[in-house]
Structure formats: C-alpha cells, structure tokens
Amino acid sequence: MTQTSVDQPTRLRRGRPWRGALALAGSAVLTGTLLVPGGARADAPPELASPAEAAVAWSVAQLTDGTHASADHGLTADLVLAFAATGTAGDAAERATDWLAANAADYARRGGPDAVNAGGTAKLALVASVQHRDPGDFGGLDLTGLLLERLNADGRFTDAAPTGDMSNQFSQSLAVLALNREGELPDSAVEFLASTRCDSGGFPLSLSRRPDRCNPDTDSTGMAVQALVDAGRTADAEPALDWLEGQQQANGGFGYNATSAPNSNSTALAVQALLAGGRTEAAASGVSWLRGLQAGCAAPAADRGGVGYMDPEIDGMALRATAQVIPALAGKPLGEIDGAGADPTPGVIDCAPDDGTGGGTQGTSDGGDQGADGGASDAGAANGGTDGGTDGGADAGQANGGADGGTSDAGTDGGLAGGASDGDGTEPPGGDPAEPGATLGTTTGGSDGGLDGGVSGDDSGLTAGGTDRDGNLASTGSSVLPLLGWAAALLAAGGGAWALAHRHRRRTAAH
C-alpha cells in the first residue's frame, strides 16, 4: 500500500552537507521507510481482506440509531441494497427496511397524499423485493400499483406532484428493475427505456427523446444498461456498453461525462453496468480505481472501509459514495442483488498483520458501534455521517439543456446533471460537485476509533504498540527501538560524509 512520505530534501546543500544527512534520517523515521534486515518494510500495513465487506462494516457504524441514514430515504435504501449485495449485515438491513416501510409515504408520496414520486416509489419497490418483502403492501402502500398507475401510454413512468413531473432516466430504470422482479413489467416500459438512447450509444438523464438535445452521461447510462440487461434486452444495451467503455479514463475511473474528473459514484454505476453486460476487463479496471479511494489499514481506525468521492478522503460525502460503491466492489449489478440468507452481522475489518505479531483490528458490532480489538469505542458517526445534500434544491436548472416542456429533470431522484437535486439517493448518490446547483452534504459526527487494548476516545486510531496516526508501525508488530538504531546509523554515516567533505574543502583552500 502506498504510504505518504514527508517531502524532505535529498541533496546535500553546499557548505552544509550534514543537513542532508539529517533530512534523510528524519524522513526515514517519520515515514517508517528505513531499510530493515531481510528487505521488509516496517510500515507496510496489510490489505483489507474484503473491500466490499469492510465498506459495509464502516457504513453500518454510520447509521443513526442503527436504523437509517439521517432520515434520508434514498440513501437508506441505497445502504440496504449495498448490504444485501455482500450478503452481510442482514440485521442492519432488516432494521433499515423496517424504517423505510414505516416512512414509505413520506418518500413515495412526497408532495402530498395524492402525489406520487415515481423514482422514490420504484426504489422502495426494489428494496422490498430484494429484502423479500411484499411491494404490494409496503408500509401500507401498494408500490407496484402506484408505479403502474403512473405508466403513460408511451411507456414512461411520470410523477404526480404539485411541482410538476420531474421523472428521469433513474425513475424509468428503477421502475423497470423493480417491476421485472415482480413479474409485472409491461413491455411498453422497456420499449420506452430503449428508445431514449442517444445516437452515440449512451443514455441521457432527460426523457424528452429529442435527438438534438440528447446528452448522454455515465450515471444515466449505467442505470439504463442494468435495467435493460435485467429485462432481457441485452442487444439494446450493447451500444451503451460500447459507449461506456469509450468514456473510461486511463486510470480506470469514470466521470459524470467526458469532461468531468472521475468520481466514485459514476464509476460504480459504470462498473455495475459493465458487469451486467459481461465487459469484465473494463469492470475490473474500474474496481481497481475504486479501491484506491477506500480507506484501508493505513487510515485511522474510524475511517477504515469508507470510500471517498473523488479522493480517499472520508468526509461528509463518504457515506453516500460508499453506499453506491459497495455493490460494484461486490461484483453485483442491481438486477442480481438478493438479500436472502444474509449473514446477520457485518464483517470485521481485520488490520492485524498476517504473521500474528499484533496490530490493529477494527471490529464492527451490528448495533453500529465501531472499535478496536479488545477495547471500547463510541463509533456510529452521529447523524449518519452525511445528509448528502438532502432537499438540496428544487426546480433545478434544466438538466441536459432543458427538457419536458421546461421542467427540470433533477429533484425526483434524478441526478445533478445541470441542476440541483433533492439528494434523496436515487440520483447519482452524492451528486457531481462539478455540476451547477450541487449541494454537498456535511458530517456532524464521527467514530472515536479507539485504541487497541481497551482505551477509547482518541480519533487517531492508534494501536497499543505505539504507532503514528496511520497505525503503520503497530500494524507490523515492529518495535520503534530498532528503527532508532537504524536512524542513528544513518546519522553516523551523515556525520562521516560531513567530515570528509569538510576535510576536502580545507585541503582545497590550502592549495
């Protein structure tokens, strides 16, 4: 695993060669990269045994009251799907599903008792099916019936809301996925979905079907491909799969569009689509890039397992990013996720070295507490870690250049392409901060991490053997004393170099 080293000068300055020797020794001590007998690195932490399960373990610890993600329906639903994708954290998934059922009307009927949020309704129906609940009676709502009521003659699912229709590609794709599981999928819905493909092969967020304003994006294409493949329309998905492979950047990641920097959410949706379509090589490259955004064993204990949005930084966007990334890490397109038979508990983030000499082990209890082996910890990230920009804006600025008679394509689980989203999680989770109107979530909580050996309350994630903030030394079971000896040896060598240089300069001056 790559370690961050302190940037120190490595060239001796004229007249003061000892500074270079000190810098070399100091840098080696700080970074733990001193040579040790046998060529082993003293600072190399182990890899996460299962990146997907580690991400689940971290996410469970962020749940509010162990049941939901700061009352964010869409993000909570994403987490249920993520847990089910790994076959772990079954109890947490059940609690979150219970919470979604109890609050289903707030999501499906957002805007009033007669309103229907097509995207939210579809996502709830998908969660219900994945968890083997009845979508026909989920929290007192017939989700299947509501979706079919909102099916237009042309096959499009639309909203019924006081603010107008803001349905989009996510709404359509999720409805196809949900209804297909129940055997209730009308052919017209799949035909409409396939008809929205742009000439380039990708799919747009907008469902206006205007060729002159068809602007494909990675997220919408990723969703549409998964829905088409699940519905048995692989041939209609092939051009989109070709388009996706053409959008993949050299590092394996995907941006929201060709001009955007790669982000974890777009990459995860693309990976799921590529897996669904059998493009395994491109998918593997995307997964490799995603793993580079995950906090591993070198990170503070409280961050381990979380995934950043554009960098390996566990901040207010991390929970939404992690929720979207987990199914991709687990190799599961949305159509293949099944919560049946899941292990009740999440996995354990084991950062002990393979040789059994010690190091940090971060366990995660099913109640959402996260701590080090043998010690107590106050984990759980108060308030769920992020609100991800919930209700971050309505009437969002005409995604894809404006569509559907002037209504916005954002806001109903629709993404942040060209506008703000309500951030409820059916859109590209976390949104694209480069897009106008994006409202980014912040975190108000965090895990204490805990010290290995029974001490709690330190954010550093230190282990009992004495380590730096990343746990580097303790994760290898190494003592700091041999390193000091090596540092002393380097200092002695530096002193010798200084003496030789000083003697040579005196001789040159004498001549």
pLDDT digits (tens, 9 = 90+) for 239-250: 999 999 999 999
CA–CA separation, 205 and 468 (whole Å): 46
- pLDDT at site 352: 79
- pLDDT at site 43: 62
User: Across residues 278-288, what is the average pLDDT?
Assistant: 98
Contact yes or no for 378/457 (Cβ under 8 A): yes
Q: What is the mean pLDDT of the chain?
A: 73
- pLDDT at site 168: 97
CA–CA separation, 2 and 10 (whole Å): 20
The answer to whether residue 500 scores a pLDDT higher than 80 is: no
Q: What angle do CA 75, 77, 82 make, to 5 degrees?
A: 90
First to last CA, the chain: 53
pLDDT digits (tens, 9 = 90+) for 218-240: 999 999 999 999 999 999 999 99
Contact yes or no for 307/290 (Cβ under 8 A): yes
Give the bridge partners for 360, in sequence order: 351
SS3 content of the chain, % helix, strand, coil (to 5): 45, 5, 50
CA distances from 135 to 84, 90, 121 (A): 17, 19, 10
Percentage of the chain exceeding pLDDT 70 = 60
- pLDDT at site 210: 78
Structure tokens at 161: 């809301």
Helices then strands, counting H and E runs in the chain, come out as 15, 3
Q: Beta strands of 257-388 (E only): which ranges?
A: 349-351, 360-364, 370-372
Burial grade of 198 (CB within 10 A; 0-12, 13-18, 19 or more): buried
Which of these ranges, 98-107, 173-182, 435-444, has the smallest mean pLDDT? Answer: 435-444
Q: What is the pTM of this model?
A: 0.68
- pLDDT at site 258: 86
φ, ψ at 115 (rounded to 5°): -80, 155
CA distances from 180 to 185, 228, 229 (A): 5, 10, 11
CA-wise closest residue to 496 among 3, 12, 38: 12
Contact yes or no for 370/490 (Cβ under 8 A): no
Residue 418 pLDDT class (50, 70, 90 cuts): very low
Structure tokens at 31: 């970074």
Set out the domains of the chain in order of their start, with CATH numbers: 51-406 (1.50.10.20)
CA-wise closest residue to 120 among 76, 66, 184, 59: 76
The answer to whether residue 408 scores a pLDDT higher than 90 is: no
Q: Beta strands of 228-359 (E only): which ranges?
A: 349-351
Which of these ranges, 120-124, 284-288, 361-365, has the smallest mean pLDDT? Answer: 361-365
- pLDDT at site 32: 37
CA distances from 460 to 311, 447, 457 (A): 20, 10, 9
- pLDDT at site 44: 67
Give the bridge partners for 370, in sequence order: 364
pLDDT digits (tens, 9 = 90+) for 150-207: 999 999 999 999 999 999 999 999 999 999 999 999 999 999 999 999 999 999 999 9
Percentage of the chain exceeding pLDDT 90 = 58
Answer positive or negative: Cα dihedral of 286, 288, 289, 291: positive
pLDDT digits (tens, 9 = 90+) for 315-369: 999 999 999 999 999 999 999 999 999 999 999 998 877 654 444 444 444 444 4
Residue for token pair 């890899």: 47
Which of these ranges, 214-218, 243-247, 455-459, has the smallest mean pLDDT? Answer: 455-459
